[in-house]
Amino acid sequence: MNNNNRYCYNTEDPANIISRTYGTNELINLYFSDINRDEIQNDIQKWIYFNSYNNLKIGRQSDTELKIIMKSIYLTNRSKLTDYRDVLQQVKFLNKLVIQECCKIIKTNISQHLHYVNNLDSEWKNTMNLPVNLSSKGTKTLELYK
């Protein structure tokens, strides 16, 4: 841990975290691989672009948050994977769920941001005027008699 930084970040790969509890297999290695994460990132960008009528282009999302969502999806849907015989089909099923969840979150965040920006423009029109000093103190002068 760096002495300058008071926070400790978990840099362990989610595949390692899951393999400690459930063991490792081909599915875990493939699902949590960097190549699969890159594929999910690309699919998220494409989904947002096409579902915004080609108006919105987003960048790469946080890999840390993506790993958290991938781990959650894997743990909650692990029992449903027995329906698929092939590991690639299992990964595609999990990827589809991850993309749906991520896009739902991103779509909500974009909507909130656009609403904020639109309200920000209208707020400038409704701002209060600067205060005016109504006091007469210091404006009166005394005449000196000769």
pLDDT 10s digits, 88-142? 999 999 999 999 999 999 999 999 999 988 887 776 666 677 788 888 777 777 6
- The answer to whether position 77 is within a domain reads yes
- The answer to whether position 17 is within a domain reads no
- The answer to whether position 9 is within a domain reads no
Q: Give Cα 79 distance to the centre of its chain.
A: 27
Is the model more confident about 12 or about 29?
Answer: 29
Distance CA 71, CA 13 (A): 10
Give residue 4's pLDDT: 55
What domain count does the chain have?
1
- Tell me the average pLDDT across 5-29: 71
- Tell me the average pLDDT across 23-36: 89
- Tell me the average pLDDT across 8-25: 68
Distance CA 61, CA 59 (A): 6
Give residue 67's pLDDT: 93
Distance CA 103, CA 101 (A): 6
Distance CA 27, CA 15 (A): 10
For residue 82, what pLDDT band results from cuts at 50, 70 and 90? confident
b/e map 109-121, b = 16+ CB within 10 Å: eeeeeeeeeeeee
- The answer to whether position 96 is within a domain reads yes
Whether pTM > 0.75 for this model: the answer is: no
Residue 1 has pLDDT above 50, yes or no: no
Distance CA 59, CA 23 (A): 34
Could you tell me the residue range of the domain that residue 48 belongs to?
Answer: 25-114
Is the model more confident about 44 or about 19?
Answer: 44
- Tell me the average pLDDT across 52-58: 87
Give residue 11's pLDDT: 60
- The answer to whether position 85 is within a domain reads yes
